[in-house]
Chains A and B, each alone.
Chain A
Amino acid sequence: MINKVVSGADEAVRDIFDGATIMLGGFGLCGIPENCITALVAKEIKSLTCISNNAGVDDFGIGLMLKKRMVKKMISSYVGENAEFERQLLSGELEVDLIPQGTLATRCMAAGYGMPAIFTPAGVGTEVAEGKEIRNFHGKDYLLEYAFDADFAIVKAWKGDTAGNLIFRSTSRNFNPVMAMAGKITIAEVEELVEAGELNPDHIHTPGIYVHRIFQGKDYEKRIEQRTTRIVNQPNK
């Protein structure tokens, strides 16, 4: 079996270069590649284009990269939780391309499936459609949206094996599997790395063919953005 294991985050991100386009998995702060973000921040790479559903918060996730002014452009669907982001956007330091969440996910998927483009109805009749090709199928308009072209995809999984196979846990799956399929180089950090053969092939979410480098991450903080609870006796709705 081909061995994809690298020593850690520093080795995994070693060749990410100034001006690279990188995908970062996660939804909000859930399922983000914490170890790789820390390694990238330490390297202080410049002028990155980041494709990620969100842009972190001020002191965590992609927010840490923004603080170091490493990001030239964000391609996201929702970026509302970050004051430094807002400051850089309003001052013109940061370019932002806001696109519908399903379009973002499906443009990743298309890249991983080897399809150059997709047609989606999301954004028809809105400013998202400006300058885009429209095709009518069965009486309904659809926008042509291109597959992403990313130099690197960085994802976080729950378990992985030395062959690069990945299993995600709960809703931290989110964008991670589709981004894993979409990078020219895909880097996976996992909470638990096991030997090839220890994971049931039927349970694999992302086959190792899509993963180029894998390592076991450490010290996961897994910060919760909106901690919400109910009183024990509240009706179970």
Chain B
Amino acid sequence: MPFTKEEIAQRIAKEIKDGYYVNLGIGIPTLVANYIPDHINIVLQSENGLLGMGPFPIEGEEDPDLINAGKQTITTLPGSSIFDSAMSFGMIRAQKVDLTILGAMEVSENGDIANWKIPGKMVKGMGGAMDLVASAKNIIVAMQHVNKAGESKLLPKCTLPLTGVRCIKKIVTELAVLDVLPEGGFKLLERAPGVSIDFIRQSTAGRLVIEGEIPEMNLD
């Protein structure tokens, strides 16, 4: 069975280590926060200017002055700090943030990412995505392996306008966990339970590298 969005988030949460500062994008990446084990202490960065983002407020306690990068009302946790947007991207550019998790429309086998613009459709803008992918030392992409038309989103070369080049290291989809190799190619590391390697091969348009036994993804 391919993974649900929640299971993709749960699998990505296993990549987060104690002491990490983490920036979560909108969509599946936001769900990752729900699966951080209790013994792991991390700090979430919101690029509008907050470290130590907490959960959504309970009803009646929403503060219009306290929102995240998705413009949702949030809370702060003990030890949090607030700063302006220039400092926020300063800490991103200076690689103080350990891990960035974001969504993508396409990823190429050399690690290029496209996630901000579809020609012919209303363009909303890149927000902070170009800054994040250009600077982050460790980026995990959470995405669907194929689009709604059944076409692969893991490509030899991106067809959509790029957000960043040669920056993606790891991808988690509903079908598989893959590393992007420095020399190019998607290295298959794990597959979703019951999903065959053949099916992953059919769903991957870019070069797929398979070495040895490929274990099933384990969420424990």
A228 at the interface (CB under 8 A from B): yes
A79 at the interface (CB under 8 A from B): yes
Tell which of B59, B88, B166 touches A105, judged by Cβ atoms closer than 8 Å.
Answer: B88
Residue of A nearest to B66 (CB): A170
Residue contact A228 to B86, C-beta cutoff 8 Å: no
Q: Which residues, 160 to 192 on A, are CB-close (under 8 Å) to B?
A: 168-178
Stretch at the interface among A2-10, A24-32, A131-139: A24-32
Tell which of B85, B126, B134 touches A78, judged by Cβ atoms closer than 8 Å.
Answer: B126
Residue contact A126 to B164, C-beta cutoff 8 Å: yes
B72 at the interface (CB under 8 A from A): yes
Q: Which residues of B contact A109 (CB under 8 A)?
A: 86
Cα-based distance from A35 to B46 in the complex (angstroms):
27
Residue contact B62 to A78, C-beta cutoff 8 Å: no
Cα-based distance from A235 to B129 in the complex (angstroms):
29
A21 at the interface (CB under 8 A from B): no
Interface readout for B61-100 with A: 1 if CB under 8 Å, 0 if not?
A: 1111111101111100000001111101110110000000
Q: Which residues of B contact A30 (CB under 8 A)?
A: 48, 64-65, 67, 71
Cα-based distance from A158 to B88 in the complex (angstroms):
20
Tell which of A53, A106, A124, A231 touches B165, judged by Cβ atoms closer than 8 Å.
Answer: A124
Residue contact B85 to A121, C-beta cutoff 8 Å: no
Residue contact B134 to A123, C-beta cutoff 8 Å: yes
Residue of A nearest to B123 (CB): A98
Tell which of A105, A128, A235 touches B130, judged by Cβ atoms closer than 8 Å.
Answer: A128
* Interchain nearest-CB distance for B81 vs A (Å): 11
Q: Which residues of B contact A173 (CB under 8 A)?
A: 49, 82-84
Residue contact B48 to A171, C-beta cutoff 8 Å: yes
Residue contact B89 to A102, C-beta cutoff 8 Å: yes
User: How many residues of chain A have a CB within 8 Å of chain B?
Assistant: 61
Residue contact A28 to B67, C-beta cutoff 8 Å: yes
Contacts A30-B65, A175-B84, A237-B36 given: A101-B161 contact, CB under 8 Å? no
Tell which of A78, A120, A128 touches B124, judged by Cβ atoms closer than 8 Å.
Answer: A78
Residue of A nearest to B44 (CB): A237
Interface readout for B42-59 with A: 1 if CB under 8 Å, 0 if not?
A: 000011111000111111
Q: Which residues, 197 to 237 on A, are CB-close (under 8 Å) to B?
A: 205, 222-232, 234-237
Residue contact A178 to B86, C-beta cutoff 8 Å: yes
- Interchain residue pairs with CB less than 8 A apart (30): A27-B67, A28-B67, A28-B71, A53-B85, A77-B126, A79-B124, A80-B125, A100-B126, A101-B127, A102-B86, A106-B86, A108-B86, A121-B135, A123-B134, A126-B130, A171-B66, A171-B67, A173-B49, A174-B48, A224-B67, A226-B70, A226-B72, A226-B73, A227-B73, A228-B56, A228-B74, A229-B62, A230-B58, A232-B58, A235-B34
Residues of B within 8 A of A (CB): 33-34, 36, 46-50, 54-59, 61-68, 70-74, 82-86, 88-90, 92-93, 112, 122-131, 134-135, 161-166
Apart from the given pairs A101-B127, A125-B164, A170-B66, 19 other A-B contacts in the complex at a CB distance below 8 Å:
A30-B67, A77-B128, A78-B125, A98-B123, A98-B126, A101-B128, A102-B92, A102-B130, A124-B164, A125-B165, A170-B82, A171-B82, A173-B49, A174-B84, A177-B84, A224-B67, A229-B61, A229-B73, A237-B33
Q: Which 8 A-B pairs have the closest CB atoms?
A: A102-B89, A80-B124, A102-B131, A125-B165, A222-B64, A78-B125, A121-B134, A105-B85
